[in-house]
Structure 1
Amino acid sequence: MDQVLPTTTRNAVSKRNGGELRALAGRWGIYVFLVFFIILAGILAPSFLHPDNLSNLVIQLVPLALVAVGQSLVILVRGLDLSVSSVMATAAVVGTSFAGTAHPELPTIVVAIIIGGLTGVVNGLLVTKRQVSPFLATLASMIVLQGLRFAWTHGAPTGAMPPFFRVIGTGRWHELPVNLLVLIPIVVIVGIVVHRTVLGRKLYITGGNPVTARLLGYRVTSITIGAYVASGVLAAIAGLVLGGYSEIVDNSVGEGFELDSIVAAVIGGFALSGGRGTVPGALAGAAVLVLVSNIVLLVGLPIQFQIILKGLVIVLAAACYRTR
């Protein structure tokens, strides 16, 4: 008996220490990995740390970060949003449609946000009221928006974005990318709502255990629809920013962002089963994906390696998700 107790105690201590290490890795691992990635990039390509390259990195990061934050809200409530890329392209096309008017900024922003919000409402209703799987519901929305956009533009490039959005997409203010001034307030607001308010706790509980959320009296349907609406609105804003960066808009704006945003969220600590993750983690995940693309270009590898490395990052994300 005297030998059993110490052995049991040692096992308990070992399990506790292992659990604490896993918790620390799950909470801070992405940030450690991001710092390691930055150091590695600086070693492999000294030009990586040049101010101009860092500024370009931020400019490229902002659209993906906006979409990743919106996607993370949907994942938080056990959903997926594949329509974000189509919302982005549609918002950019809207921007070119108002390019010839006297003051295109306000109507472009309003119409783009309405399109993103309505897409989110449709997605949320399909998922909650009709019990359609998030994958199929948002895939259908993506295809419908794509068809409407092709019908509007006749499948051809639609022209240039208004100057206001080109400034937002590529401009700098005191060497600071202008689009960062769009990202920061949005991330701060979303971060406060998710991590410091009752609504944020409801999001986590709804995603972690919808049954418990209903027993507590939470409006699970409204909360889920709200997450999809936020994702659609943020995707629309990202589409305007990315359209300003591209300047000449076609129907492929935002292509691939639906998968990249999901990967960024999962790398950043969000569980596809819902109820777990942080907004800063989603931003860190988006930064990792942008760094991968930048390192490939700086090192001088063929563009195909960018796709290969992104695939490896996705595998790593899947492994991390499985571990969590």
Structure 2
Amino acid sequence: MSTTVLAKPKLVSHRVSRVVERNGLLLFCLLLTAGAAIFAPGFRSPNNLQNVLTNAAPLGVVVLGQCLVILVRGFDLSVASVMATAAVVATSFDYSTDWSVIPILAVSLVMALVVGSVNGYLVTQRRVSPFLATLAVMIVLQGIRFAWTKGAPSGRVPELIRVIGSQAIHSVPINLILLVILAVFVGVMLERTAFGRKIYMVGGNPRAAELVGVNVNWITFLCYVLSAILAALGGLVLVGYVGSVDNWVGRGYELNSIIATVMGGVSLGGGRGSVFGALVGAFVLTEIFNIALLLGFPVQFQWVVKGVVILLAVAVYLAANRSR
């Protein structure tokens, strides 16, 4: 009897720890929201809540691609440069009709396809580390962009992109709706398709994946291509929200997307994590920055927040590895 009585608290404690481990960031997000509503009354205003969701959507789109790359043991530092290039492309066409969005989307996707292919080639075929490969591509793409625009991009953002990036339907941001659609697509791909299962296999144990017939290089290559494509879409969404373009649109998103993804439970070692967790990380990061501004902290304080969040994410990652 006594053994049974002692076993029950241990069982309950184990279940609680499992719930916290799986949903800890979501619980933190809810507590953060409740605390912000109390200590920063402006946070709970409908306009501010809509603004948080609108700001989180471009980052969320980029995070989807970053999640895929990190799942296969890499990361992509070129996403911000891809975003800026897509934004520059968006102002380089004639806007006499709404059909102008078609060549914009086509050119942006082709550009992203090329960038993602170069990243994937360098990592899989030339065995360059993901850090150096994507950093080099980021710098090269930045140089090409500055040479093309002569340092001062001009033009206006097409109206349809502005609507998608900044307008809402019944107070629900359109860019958030787009994010949900893309998230469902990526989530279903990871959880319900053979390609998704191979991504987890490659990230979990590349050698074992090879032994069962998985083309590790091809899977990794495709993840970098998808990351670049999603970054280009994120750039178009962001420039639609901002309403103007410069060569630094998306600056800092390479770091923010990695922070959000890892904070959301996607393992830096690959093979573990989910789209849902990564997106929660994106919303938490956006929410933290919004609260800092509402409380009157200077913009520079965001860099302090980023540093602290990185340290916490690494600490949680190491603790999870030790527990396993």
TM bracket, shorter-chain basis: over 0.9
- Which of these residues, 212, 216, 222, is aligned with residue 220 of structure 1? 216
RMSD, aligned α-carbons: 1.9
Do residues 189 (structure 1) and 185 (structure 2) align?
Answer: yes
Q: Where do residues 248-287 of structure 1 align in structure 2 (5 Å cutoff)?
A: 248-287=244-283
Aligned twin of 1:3:
none
Do residues 25 (structure 1) and 23 (structure 2) align?
Answer: no
Counterpart Cα distance in 1 of 2:38 and 2:307: 23
**1:321 offset after TM fit, Å?**
1.3
Aligned twin of 2:150:
154
**1:232 offset after TM fit, Å?**
0.4
- Which of these residues, 85, 92, 101, is aligned with residue 90 of structure 1? 85
- Residue identity in the other structure for 1:247: G
Unaligned runs of 5+ in 1: 1-5
Aligned twin of 1:47:
42
Partner SS for 1:156: coil
Conserved? CA contact 1:194–1:201, under 8 Å: yes
- Which of these residues, 54, 78, 94, is aligned with residue 59 of structure 1? 54
Q: Where do residues 1-324 of structure 1 align in structure 2 (5 Å cutoff)?
A: 23-100=18-95, 102=97, 103-324=99-320
- Residue identity in the other structure for 1:92: A
**1:174 offset after TM fit, Å?**
2.0
Counterpart Cα distance in 1 of 2:152 and 2:14: 55
- Residue identity in the other structure for 2:88: V
Conserved? CA contact 1:87–1:145, under 8 Å: yes
**1:99 offset after TM fit, Å?**
4.4
Counterpart Cα distance in 1 of 2:16 and 2:168: 42
Write the deviation string for residues 263-305 of structure 1: whole angstroms up to 9, x where unpaired.
0010000111100100000000001110111101111222222
- Residue identity in the other structure for 1:65: G
Counterpart Cα distance in 1 of 2:191 and 2:31: 27
Conserved? CA contact 1:67–1:234, under 8 Å: yes
Number of residue equivalences: 314
Write the deviation string for residues 104-147 of structure 1: whole angstroms up to 9, x where unpaired.
20000111111112211111111111100000110111011101
**1:220 offset after TM fit, Å?**
0.9
Write the deviation string for residues 211-258 of structure 1: whole angstroms up to 9, x where unpaired.
000001011111111111110000000000101111110000010000
The TM-score, its normalising length taken from structure 2, stands at: 0.92
Conserved? CA contact 1:243–1:249, under 8 Å: yes
Partner SS for 1:160: coil
- Residue identity in the other structure for 2:34: I
Partner SS for 1:48: helix
Conserved? CA contact 1:159–1:250, under 8 Å: no
**1:159 offset after TM fit, Å?**
3.0
Counterpart Cα distance in 1 of 2:237 and 2:57: 8
